[in-house]
């Protein structure tokens, strides 16, 4: 079951993100700040967080928000599934849920940024599998040898 993220989920979501083993410590700090801001009112700015529950426990989450200064552009800032439940369709369900919510909010394009490092290879495959186009690579963005790979998917067929 996917439901809106609640404040009590935060410790579990941080544990899930840490447990994936792919995020740097500074990214975990950023996630903690993002969740704090979300519960202090970022949801009023259109930010959304969704938690996937299994047996009454969070096992995955997604965080997405409008891209500032764009016409109905959105960013998927976070998606993560607990390591021991990966590859069972939970991430796909969360991504589809995010896309549906963004479409309902008349979102036009969804952007996702990720890293070029080898341990993100399955993640990049995951986006391609869901119809994302690899739009560009910003070399050495995160660090020397760690590029930013930008994926893009059009969510609305026509320009309103
Ligand atoms: C990427 C992620 C959200 C996908 O969620 P998931 O529940 O594991 O993925 P699903 O079961 O819905 O889809 C599986 C597909 O995704 C890809 N995939 C991504 N991560 C995978 C993993 N750890 N194990 C297996 N497949 C993975 C494969 O292409 C797979 O396709 P296949 O089943 O045809 O081989 C999840 O693996 C995860 O949390 N990864 C670590 C955190 C991360 O990279 N987040 C995104 C940062 S930009």
pLDDT in tens, 15-50: 999 999 999 999 999 999 999 999 998 778 899 999
Closest residue by Cα to atom 37, ligand 1, is 86
pLDDT in tens, 54-69: 999 999 999 999 999 9
Instruction: Give the whole-angstrom CA distance, residue 142 versus residue 159.
Output: 33
Confidence (pLDDT) at 134: 97
CA of 2 to the centre of ligand 1 (A): 17
Atom index in ligand 1 nearest the CA of residue 81 equals 39
Atom index in ligand 1 nearest the CA of residue 114 equals 48
**Average pLDDT of 67-76?**
96
Closest residue by Cα to atom 24, ligand 1, is 87
Confidence (pLDDT) at 158: 63
Closest residue by Cα to atom 26, ligand 1, is 87
Confidence (pLDDT) at 43: 79
Instruction: Give the whole-angstrom CA distance, residue 160 versus residue 150.
Output: 24
The set of protein residues with a Cβ atom below 6 angstroms from ligand 1 is 20, 22, 79-81, 86-92, 114, 120, 122-123, 125-126, 129
Confidence (pLDDT) at 53: 98
């Amino acid at each position: 079951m996917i439901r809106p993220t609640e404040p009590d989920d935060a410790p579990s979501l941080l544990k899930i993100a840490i447990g994936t083993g792919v995020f740097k410590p500074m990214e975990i700090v950023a996630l903690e700040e993002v969740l704090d801001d979300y519960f202090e009112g970022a949801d009023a700015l259109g930010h959304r967080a969704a938690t996937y529950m299994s047996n009454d426990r969070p096992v995955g989450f997604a965080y997405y928000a409008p891209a500032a200064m764009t016409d109905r552009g959105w960013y998927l800032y976070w998606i993560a599934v607990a390591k021991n439940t990966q590859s069972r369709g939970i991430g796909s369900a969360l991504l589809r849920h995010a896309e549906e919510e963004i479409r309902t909010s008349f979102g036009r394009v969804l952007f996702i940024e990720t890293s070029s490092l080898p341990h993100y290879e399955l993640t990049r495959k995951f986006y391609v599998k869901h119809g994302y186009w690899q739009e560009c690579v910003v070399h050495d963005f995160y660090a020397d040898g760690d590029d930013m790979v930008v994926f893009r998917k059009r969510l609305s067929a026509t320009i309103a």
